[in-house]
Homo-oligomer: A and B are copies of this chain.
Amino acid sequence: MILLNNCLVLRFNLKMEVKDKKKHILDSAEKLFAMKGFEASTVREIADEANVNLAMISYYFGSKEKMMESLFQERMINTKLKVEQLLKNEHMPPFGKVEIMLDDYIKKVLENEAFYKILLCEQVMKKNLEIIRMLKELKLSYAAMFTDLVKEGQKKKVFKKNIDVLLALNTMTGTVTQIIINKEHYCEFNNIEVLQEEELKHFLHSKLFDHLKNIFKTILGYES
């Protein structure tokens, strides 16, 4: 049973924990929301995709909107934990921390493309206030962390003064986001043959990491 994936478990009606079932539905929802948007995805499609009964979605999450909120809550837990741990290492030099931040963010987005697409659209629409609230909180904690990091570097005289931390972060998020959106176009333009999913991620990570590291050196006035 360890080898069976969720779908098979469902198909054969083997017992499944409610928590896992919820997660399974959220995965399906995430996929569809990323592909077609929240409004264009119907609960019927999500139910079909997840191989569960239509009524389950209201039963588990209360409503379509609350399912979206659950999805955000789920996906954001990991994000927050990692961010908070970053600054604690006292021995790491400031730009090392920046590199870790960049590496971490790029990896997270590449691993959760679908979610970050949804997140992007939600930020544009600003319809679900609960989600906007969660996002704002996350952004603030991110900005606060990076501000601390920048101050540390400035105190150690390795970063220049007058750094616009938010512009810097927006360049990071914006660049990664755009590459996600334009993935196919980027590959095509660079004459890259169709790679395996994992190889492609690795390739994009490498490209983005070097690119952003270079940019952040300039922004922070850091010289290696």
Q: Which residues of A contact B (CB under 8 A)?
A: 34-40, 117, 120-121, 123-127, 136, 139-140, 143, 164, 166-167, 170-171, 173-179, 181-182, 185-186, 189-190, 207-208, 211, 214-215, 217-219
Contact = CB atoms under 8 A, between A and B. Distances in A.
A214 B207 contact: no
A117 B120 CA distance: 10
Contacts of A178: 170-171, 173-174, 177
Copies in the assembly, this chain = 4
* Chain A binding surface SS class: helix
A104 B186 CA distance: 23
A84 to B, nearest CB: 19
Contacts of A208: 167
Contacts of A125: 35-37, 40, 121
Contacts of A39: 37, 39-40
Nearest to A176: B174
Nearest to A118: B124
A137 B190 CA distance: 16
B166 A189 contact: yes
A217 B125 CA distance: 34
A218 B220 CA distance: 12
Contacts of A164: 190, 207, 211
Give the 10 A-B residue pairs with the shortest CB-CB distance, closest first: A174-B174, A39-B39, A170-B178, A174-B178, A218-B218, A174-B175, A171-B175, A39-B40, A117-B124, A167-B211
Contacts of A173: 174, 178
Contacts of A139: 182, 185
A175 B167 contact: yes
Contact of A124 (B34, B126, B174, B175): B34
